[in-house]
Amino acid sequence: MSYHPGSYGAGGASSPNLVAAVANEGVLGFLAAGYLSTEILEKQIIETKSKTNKIFGVNLFIIDPLIQNNFIKPENICAIEKELGIFKTKKIKIHIDEEIENKIDIIIKHNVKIVSFTFGLPNKKIIEKLKKHNIYTIGSSTNIIEAKIIEELGLDAVVAQGIEAGGHRASFLNHNLRDEIGLISLLQEFQGLIQIPVIASGGIITGKSLLAVETLGATSSQIGTGFLLTEESGIPKSYKESLLNCHSHETILTEYVSGKKARGKFNLLIENLQSKKTKKAEFPIQNSMTKDIRAFASKNENPDFMSLWCGQSVWKIKKIISAKQFIFNIMAEYQEEINKIKKL
Ligand SMILES: Cc1cc2nc3c(=O)[nH]c(=O)nc-3n(C[C@H](O)[C@H](O)[C@H](O)COP(=O)(O)O)c2cc1C
């Protein structure tokens, strides 16, 4: 089982606290480095290392850099800002640079042994550099074509992200329906066609689901939503509380918050952004356009206007518990299921 991300703006679900807590229980935790500066990532790696001597990974976004000064926010975004009293100007400056090369150097410098990628893949030079330093590499896929590309590029393992998953689709080939496959179908399709280890992702939140994906050929599992709702995760209190009473059918896939499909709880932010007159920019421009609203909502514990990313299995979590307790519960149920099978 691996704990995987939860990048949630500043503060972040995937805090050094959470990554260290899961690592100390023998689970692989990932620091979500997407949208972070190299400097902050380095601080987080150092902090995580001060809390655990166990292995952990870093997750990187592969997004082309983009710097443009004069984007005009669409009317509906300005209207929400006005309603919240934070409207300043229609113009926004967009500065997106994931500083991949610098982050890779920091990862090597601090002897991090596992790196995963989402939204795309690094170039061959980076992959060779990581391999030279014996760093295990993981790519994220949402269909067999993406998984094949990851395998052929020489990465060590591939995430199979089913449509149940919380947060953004990991897809990197296109943004249409071809990335909306359920985890059961995806895993069965990968069996036999993909030779590298497959990490199942999406909707896994119980010991039974952990066992189910193993039966379908997964080597390990990746859990996001389950860890998002632990004491150690860094998301705002009101975000956690609003997910405690959320059923699967209340989650929705939307492109309107960031420009790329992501699953979260339907709220006023999504409703307003999806309203008829809405114009939507591409990812990550749309993400920058809605950033001030989401940051303000997070700061003020207003879940109506946050991006409440979570997966379809969110209904299962009824109480905020420690990461240690969550891992204990899921592993106890997993063992119980195995014992039942042995008795048959
Ligand atoms: C709040 C949140 C943030 C996420 N951030 C990232 C991220 O930064 N990088 C990444 O590769 N996946 C990210 N994911 C997706 C997870 O890696 C994983 O695919 C997903 O959570 C699995 O489905 P589940 O939420 O049903 O457990 C995020 C998921 C959530 C819920």
Average pLDDT of the residues of the chain? 93
CATH number of 2-343: 3.20.20.70
Region 34-52 average pLDDT: 97
Does ligand 1 lie within 6 Å of residue 228's CB atom? yes
Which residues make beta-bridge pairs with 199?
159, 220
Closest alpha carbon to 269 in 94, 83, 12, 35: 83
**Tens digit of pLDDT for each residue in 130-182?**
999 999 999 999 999 999 999 999 999 999 999 999 999 999 997 666 889 99
**Tens digit of pLDDT for each residue in 115-141?**
999 999 999 999 999 999 999 999 999
For residue 340, report the distance from its CA to the centre of ligand 1, in Å: 31
- Residue-level pLDDT at 5: 45
The residue whose CA has the least distance to atom 15 of ligand 1 is 167
**Tens digit of pLDDT for each residue in 281-317?**
889 999 999 999 999 999 999 999 999 999 999 999 9
Q: Is 69 left (phi over 0), alpha (psi -120 to 50) or beta?
A: alpha
Region 252-265 average pLDDT: 96
Q: Which atom of ligand 1 is nearest to the CA of 227?
A: 27
Judged against a pLDDT cut of 50, whether residue 9 lies above it is answered with no
The burial of 308, by beta-carbon neighbours within 10 Å (0-12 exposed, 13-18 middle, 19 or more buried), is given as buried
Confidence grade of residue 280 (pLDDT, cut at 50, 70, 90): confident
Query: How do the domains of the chain map onto residue ranges?
Result: 2-343
**Tens digit of pLDDT for each residue in 91-100?**
989 999 999 9
Does ligand 1 lie within 6 Å of residue 251's CB atom? no
Confidence grade of residue 6 (pLDDT, cut at 50, 70, 90): very low
